[in-house]
Every structure is written in structure tokens, then in C-alpha cells.
Amino acid sequence: MQDWRWMTAADLGRAIGAGEIDPIALAEVYLDAIDAHEHRDRIYARVTHDRARAEAKAASERARAGMRRSALDGVPVSWKDLFDTAGVATEAGTALMEGRVPDTDAEVLQNATAAGLVCLGKTHMSEIAFSGLGLNPITATPPCVNDPDAVPGGSSSGAAASVAFGLAAAGIGSDTGGSVRIPSAWNDLVGLKTTHARLSLEGVVPLCLTFDTVGPLCRSVEDAGLLLAALEGSRAVDLAGSSLEGVRLMVLDTIAPDDVRDAPRAAFDGAVARLQAAGAVIEHRYFSQLFDAFNVAGNLYAADSYGWWRDRVEAHPEKMFPQILERVRGGKTVSGPDYCAGWNLLRDIRKQYAAETAQFDAVIMPTAAILPPDAARLLSDDDYYKTENLLALRNTRIANLMDVCSVTLPTGVPSCGIMFNGRNGTEAALLRLAAAAERALG
């Protein structure tokens, strides 16, 4: 039964449908594994034993009656600790929200529950989701599956760790500048960043409401498609027959390849060669306007986050990790006219980017320019923290700035992902392409 912990969510769902796995037994395997794991309290902020058992029991009854609600009915997943859960604390990784207990579930959690998914609990995260590293000395820093001394990536750090360590079939996270894709890449998972506003943010503690998105961290592209359907209450994309033959992929030569370290660069080059061997057409292109987008991004992120968090932050700044406090306080000095002008510019750049990339099926780049940094050094060296955090999120942030969907896939090299950026609202096409790429990458 322990093998169940390493199966894809889709395979678990199929086994439940075939009567080979009882959701009750499956939930107990995960709950037992969580409670016995040496990193339990570094990965899970709260484990919802009673809810998981009740939902598994209902899923088991539906399966026996032939009334399963979805392909993932009865499959246990984890939830990042910024998704509201009725009657269970949701604290967003910060002491500023300690003891906050919502009355209702977030809308995406309601949808997932309606599809029959089983909630295992809430996972740790970067404080208020404002870091791509996953370091959180305020609550907990989850481990990286490939390096016990390194951070796991953030801000959906515990979400990734819960899957990578076999303590959930999938994790649900959020992505504002890379927070699904960085921890997915560093823990050898598939991570899907959805188009902004594709999935509901109702009941999700915000970081930047103009950039926040919801997405899954999982073991396969098929899982990502099924989870997307569950989160929005839709039909999953059909991945059958997908191919890379004749697919046009644009390697972005602006910003994304700069300062990429040796291992991620070699992993990306190797992955591109395999995609090309599978029939993909690879072209290199430059998009100079991306520099202008990056130049205004800091003001937009900081002002948005500070606008929502200001009262809590200024009431108790001493409760925050200084690196996160400094980042969110950066919004203090952004003027209204500068904020509006920045958004006007970014909207224009998005139109130009859409036109420049329209002829391609996806834009590709290394998911992260760096490997997971050392956790102890991040705590002791402020300059190192800033450098590594900015480099970690640099490539992923392109999709958030351009407002497109994006998926990261493992390359086969530990903690090195390859990212495929699609177009706005084209998750189905992107997932079909990613399924073909997944096969080519092995």
C-alpha cells in the first residue's frame, strides 16, 4: 500500500474507479505517513484528520455506488495555508494572522470538495507569499527533496514538499511571481500557473490581487489538467494524441538566459535537444520591451501588496521576518500616478508581447536560473538572500507580467525545470503541448 504514495493523482483516481483502492484506506495511508514523517511539522502547518476521514468515507460510498463525482474523487491533496478552510486556521505563513479561523472554505476548495477531493491539511509557505525561496523563520521552512540543507522554493514551499515526500497526491498553491513553479522545479514536480482570474481568488489570502493566481503542484501533466478542472468545476482537457511534431517553440533570449548557472543551463539545453528530436521547431527571439516591464514591476508588486497588508504590517512589524517586512514596505513610497502609469505601460507591453509571440505554440526558458540556495546562509547573509530571491523568481515572473499561463516540467536533472509559457487563457492548448513534451523529456 505504501506504493500508493508515489502514484500520480490520476492513477490513484483510476484505481479507485476500478475498485482496486478504497478511498478510506488511501486517506489513512497518507495520514499515517504524515504523522510519522520526520519533517511533518516543517511541511504541514495543520493536518485535518477529521475532515480527511469524513471526505474519504463519503468518496468510498460513492465509489461503491458507482456515483463518483470526478476522475479524482477520493484522491487526497494538500492546501497551501492561504486557502480559507472553514473552522481551521488559515494564517498565510505569518504571525500577523495567528489564530485567524475563517467560517467558509475558499471557492476553489469548495469546487475541489464538490469534485470529491480529500483535504489532508494546510501546508507551510513563505511569509504572506512574498518570496520565491521558501525560507520562513517565523513558522517553518520545509525541506527540499534534493538537498536537506537547501530551501525548497516558495512561496508554495510546503505544497511542493508534501508531494515530493509522498505526503499528498498533489498540492494546491498560488503563484504571483513564480510561487507554484519554483518549488515545483526545485522538487522535480509539474507546476501549473494559470492565467490571472481563470481560477477564483475568493477566500484566498492575497499577496497582490492584480497578479495572484491559483495552481496545482503535482506528479504529471495529466494530474495538472485534472486538478485544474476540479478547481474550477469544469471538464478536464483531453490530452490524447498530443504531439510535438511541427510545434513551434520560441526560446526567449531576453533576460531569461542571463546569469543562468551551470546546472540549470545544461539541463535546459539538454531538454531543448530532446524536444527538437521529438519534432519541435526551435527558434530564438528577442523581446526588448521586457526590460521596461521589469523596470515597473517592482512598484506594481510592492504597492499592491502594501495596500492590502499595510494595516496588519504597521500594527506589528516586529512580528515579521525582516526580509519580508522590507519587501512589503517597499510599497509605501509608490505614488498613485506612478502606479497607474506603470500599469498603463505594462498593458501596452502585454499587447506587444502577444503579437510578437503569436506565431509560436509556447515560449520556453529555464524555470529558474539557480539551484535551491543554502538555507542557513540565506538567514545569515542579507545580500545573498536578496540576490538569490531575485534570481529565483526572475524567469517565472515573465509569465505573471505578461499575464499568460505557464507550466514547468522536470528535465531529469535534479531541481532543474524547463518552463513553457502559453497565451492568455489557453491552458488546454498548453497542457496538450506539455503532455507531449513530458513524454519527450522522459
Active site amino acids? 80, 155, 179
CA atoms within 13 A on the CB side of 118: 36
Estimate to the nearest angstrom the gap between the alpha carbon of 146 and the chain centroid.
18
Task: Please give the Cα distance from 401 to 294 (Å, whole number).
Answer: 8
Neighbours of 94 (CB within 10 A): 28
Estimate to the nearest angstrom the gap between the alpha carbon of 397 and the chain centroid.
12
Closest CA to 404 of 222, 181, 172, 169: 181
Helix-then-strand count for the chain, H and E: 15, 11
Which residues are registered as beta bridge partners of 421?
363, 406
**DSSP assignment of 160-202, as one string?**
HHHHHTTS-S-EEEE-SSSTTHHHHHHTT-EEEEPPTTSS--T
Burial of 359 (0-12, 13-18, 19+ CB in 10 A): exposed
| Beta carbons of 138 and 102 less than 8 angstroms apart | no
CA distances from residue 69 to 17, 107, 116, 232, 397 in whole angstroms, order as listed:
11, 17, 6, 14, 35
- Cell of residue 306, nine digits: 502594501
Task: Please give the Cα distance from 17 to 60 (Å, whole number).
Answer: 10
H helices within 115-261, ranges in order? 157-164, 181-186, 221-232
| Beta carbons of 403 and 196 less than 8 angstroms apart | yes
CA distances from residue 337 to 162, 289, 304, 334, 342 in whole angstroms, order as listed:
43, 21, 14, 9, 8
The C-alpha cell 502514484 sits at 7
